[in-house]
């Protein structure tokens, strides 16, 4: 059983400037979602961060909401929270695979996302994983987003020295042939 295993948890990152995260949750299973949100909020606040919260109807809408939010907002990162419990049809596989794949693609584009969409066989597994006093997967997803934000800030201003760079004003002025210039 997973709860008997030992897991290493990274130290919480420190930030020079405040961080702001968007928690995107599907409250399809409201009690499970509420526990995950509580864990995520506590982790973000423990790191000195701020958060906002939006709800989506299901797990499939979460990546789209993150994509829309990233185009229209100033969040440093995102926490995706929801729960998919296996049912009698193949819809479970579709929701699990497609929501995970879409979140991964957004991450590969540079978004800092902690994926806390539970994919479980039954309600009991979900309850244990969502409980902030037990496996706290909501807090874990927030921690993942915080670590990605820290990495992004660490390397975000560095340049690999390739590609085109905009000319500075001094370069433009020095190359100018017309108009009044003063030395």
Q: Which of 7, 8, 91, 147 is catalytic?
A: 91
For this structure, is 91 an active site residue? Answer: yes
Strand partners, 51: 21
Hey, what are 62's tokens?
A: 């979460």
| Range list of β-strands (E), the chain | 20-25, 50-55, 77-85, 113-120
Cβ atoms 62, 23 nearer than 8 A: no
Q: CA nearest 124: which of 82, 79, 80, 83?
A: 83
15 CB neighbour count, 10 Å cutoff? 15
Q: Minimal CA–CA distance to 37: which of 78, 83, 77, 81? A: 81
Nearest partner of 63 among 26, 11, 17, judged by Cα: 26
Q: Give the contacts of 139 (CB within 8 A, at least 6 positions apart).
A: 39, 40, 42, 43, 132
Output the six-digit token pair for 147. Answer: 């670590």
Point out the residues that are catalytic.
91
């Amino acid at each position: 059983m997973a709860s008997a295993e030992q897991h290493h948890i990274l130290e919480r990152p420190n930030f020079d400037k405040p961080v702001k995260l968007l928690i995107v949750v599907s409250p399809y299973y409201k009690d499970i979602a509420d526990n995950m949100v509580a864990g995520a909020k506590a982790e973000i606040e423990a790191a000195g961060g701020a958060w906002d919260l939006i709800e989506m109807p299901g797990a499939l809408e979460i990546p789209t909401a993150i994509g829309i939010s990233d185009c229209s907002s100033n969040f440093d990162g995102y926490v995706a929270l929801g729960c998919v419990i296996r049912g009698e049809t193949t819809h479970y596989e579709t929701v699990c695979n497609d929501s995970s794949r879409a979140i991964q693609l957004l991450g590969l584009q540079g978004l800092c996302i902690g994926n806390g969409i539970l994919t479980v066989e039954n309600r009991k597994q979900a309850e244990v994983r969502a409980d902030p006093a037990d496996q706290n997967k909501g807090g874990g997803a927030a921690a993942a987003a915080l670590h990605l934000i820290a990495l992004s800030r660490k390397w975000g201003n560095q340049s690999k020295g390739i590609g085109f760079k905009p000319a500075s004003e001094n370069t433009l002025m020095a190359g100018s042939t017309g108009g009044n210039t003063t030395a």
